[in-house]
């Protein structure tokens, strides 16, 4: 679904634009989520595949979904902790068998989860079972789930692979948690929405790096030719100084000390600019979610009657936005107060 305001692409079942926060549907009963809710209410008992899909997708209609999320989160955290500890030679020598068993059963767990997701998502679209499956398999979350199990099978079929590479791939399992917490998605969306501001800041950073490197090459090039003999060598020092506030090479001339002080000050300024942009964009992203939910809530309350389909729509929207019950109650009180 393409947003009419910012022209960005969005999933077809979204009620708001991930980039600008514009609400797609103003009529709760006509939204895709509400329509699916009506169809679910019309069927007395959903099929097994539909039930499994709702549980794994964290549907508010399935109380078991919350426990499944917690189970997957615990398994991921235990796995990542085991991978980190297994990299210590002393710990590996004492608990090698334990880590091997833990890895085996964890891979079986993740494989079962992946297979169930692929199988159950065939119920997402009635016209084609593989439409929902393809959408998941090639989605970022689907790729993360796939690579969560791949290192083990790679080691089985290719036992000569470097274990350090496999450890890094196994640690990618931590990305599975982003499915149950929208913070990472909100951060990416916030950065994308402020891409022009980031582009301007990056341009200033480029200018500061080149100017600082050129001045340091002029001031320290003869005194330290190995480190500052060329501008490309000095650029590395400038990048380290601007990003960390302290360079990896001490200047030995007075001119070099002055350039180093100014470069360090520029680094602090650039860090403040970047932090301000990220903080503002992140806050705006959360505000857009709340505004989209409030708009849907006011539309539902406009006629004074809240149907089961509309209530189900609000529950799904709350789960999608990761809003707490307290936040929803506050927005409900505000909407009812305006209607009065």
**pLDDT over 80 (residue 136):** yes
Domain boundary among 117, 147, 177: 177
Residue 105 has pLDDT above 80, yes or no: yes
Regarding whether 325 and 199 lie in a shared domain, the answer is yes
Query: What is the rounded average pLDDT of the residues 114-124?
Result: 90
In a domain, 260, yes or no: yes
Task: For residue 119, give both structure tokens.
Answer: 């199988």
| Residue 236 pLDDT > 80 | yes
Question: In sequence order, what are the beta bridge partners of 16?
Answer: 23
pLDDT band at 338 (very low <50, low <70, confident <90, very high): low
Which CATH number is 134's domain given? 1.20.120.350
Whether 17 is covered by a domain: the verdict is: no
Q: What pLDDT, on a 0 to 100 scale, did the predictor assign at position 22? A: 53
The fraction of the chain above a pLDDT of 90, given in percent, is: 13
Name 132's Cβ contacts closer than 8 Å, sequence gap at least 6.
Answer: 121, 122, 123, 124, 125
Alpha carbon of residue 319 to chain centroid: 16
Strand, coil or helix: what is 291?
A: helix
Cβ count within 10 A of residue 298: 16
Q: Are residues 201 and 311 in the same domain?
A: yes
- The C-alpha atoms of residue 317 and residue 327 are separated, in whole angstroms, by 13
Residue 99 belongs to what domain range? 45-177
Query: Any idea what the CATH number is for the domain that residue 241 is in?
Result: 1.10.287.70
Please list, in sequence order, all residues whose beta carbon lies within 8 angstroms of the beta carbon of residue 19, skipping any fewer than 6 positions away.
3, 6, 8, 189, 192, 193
pLDDT for position 24: 52
- Report the pLDDT averaged over residues 96-101: 90
What's the confidence (pLDDT) of residue 9?
59
Domains contained in the chain, number: 2
Taking 90 as the threshold, does the pLDDT of residue 19 lie above it?
no
* 228 plus 329 within the same structural domain: yes
Domain boundary among 123, 149, 177: 177
Same domain, 264 and 297: yes
Strand boundaries in 76-230, DSSP class E: none
Question: In terms of domains, do 144 and 220 share one?
Answer: no
pLDDT tens, position by position, 189-229: 877 888 888 889 889 999 999 999 999 999 988 888 888 88
- Please give the residue that has the higher pLDDT: either 81 or 33: 81
Count of alpha carbons within 13 angstroms of residue 178, beta-carbon side: 16
Q: What is the pLDDT of residues 36-88, one digit of tens each?
A: 433 444 344 568 888 898 888 877 778 888 888 899 989 999 988 988 898 88
Q: Are residues 137 and 235 in the same domain?
A: no
Integer Cα distance of 98 and 67 in angstroms: 26
Q: Give the C-alpha separation, 229 to 224, whole Å.
A: 7
pLDDT in tens, 145-191: 888 888 788 877 877 776 667 777 777 788 887 777 667 777 778 77
Nearest to 99 by CA among 87, 111, 109: 87
């Amino acid at each position: 679904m393409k947003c009419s305001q910012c022209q960005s692409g969005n999933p077809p079942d979204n009620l708001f634009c991930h980039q600008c926060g514009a609400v797609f549907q103003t009529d709760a009963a006509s939204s895709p989520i509400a329509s699916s809710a009506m169809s679910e209410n019309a069927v007395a008992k959903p099929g097994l595949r539909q039930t499994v899909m709702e549980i794994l997708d964290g549907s508010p209609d399935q109380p078991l979904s919350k426990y499944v999320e917690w189970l997957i989160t615990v398994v991921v955290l235990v796995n990542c902790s085991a991978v980190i500890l297994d990299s210590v030679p002393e710990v590996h020598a004492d608990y090698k068998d334990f880590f091997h068993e833990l890895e085996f059963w964890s891979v079986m767990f993740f494989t079962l989860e992946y297979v169930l997701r692929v199988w159950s998502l065939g119920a997402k679209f009635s016209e084609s079972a593989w439409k929902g499956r393809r959408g998941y398999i090639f989605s970022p979350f689907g790729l993360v789930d796939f690579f969560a199990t791949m290192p083990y099978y790679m080691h089985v079929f290719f036992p000569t692979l470097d274990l350090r590479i496999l450890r890094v791939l196994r640690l990618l399992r931590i990305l599975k948690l982003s499915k149950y917490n929208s913070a990472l998605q909100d951060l990416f969306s916030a950065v994308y929405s402020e891409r022009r501001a980031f582009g301007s800041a990056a341009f200033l950073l480029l200018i500061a790096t080149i100017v600082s490197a050129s001045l340091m090459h002029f001031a320290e090039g003869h005194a330290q030719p190995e480190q500052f003999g060329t501008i490309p060598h000095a650029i590395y020092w400038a990048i380290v100084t601007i990003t960390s506030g302290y360079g990896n090479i001490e200047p030995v001339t007075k001119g070099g000390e002055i350039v180093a002080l100014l470069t360090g000050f520029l680094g602090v300024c650039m860090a403040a600019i970047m932090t301000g942009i990220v903080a503002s964009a992140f806050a705006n992203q959360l505000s857009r979610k709340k505004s989209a939910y409030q708009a849907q809530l006011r539309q539902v309350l406009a006629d004074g009657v809240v149907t089961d389909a509309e209530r189900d729509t609000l529950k799904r929207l709350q789960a999608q936005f990761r809003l707490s019950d307290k936040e929803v109650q506050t927005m409900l009180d505000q909407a009812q107060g305006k209607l009065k």
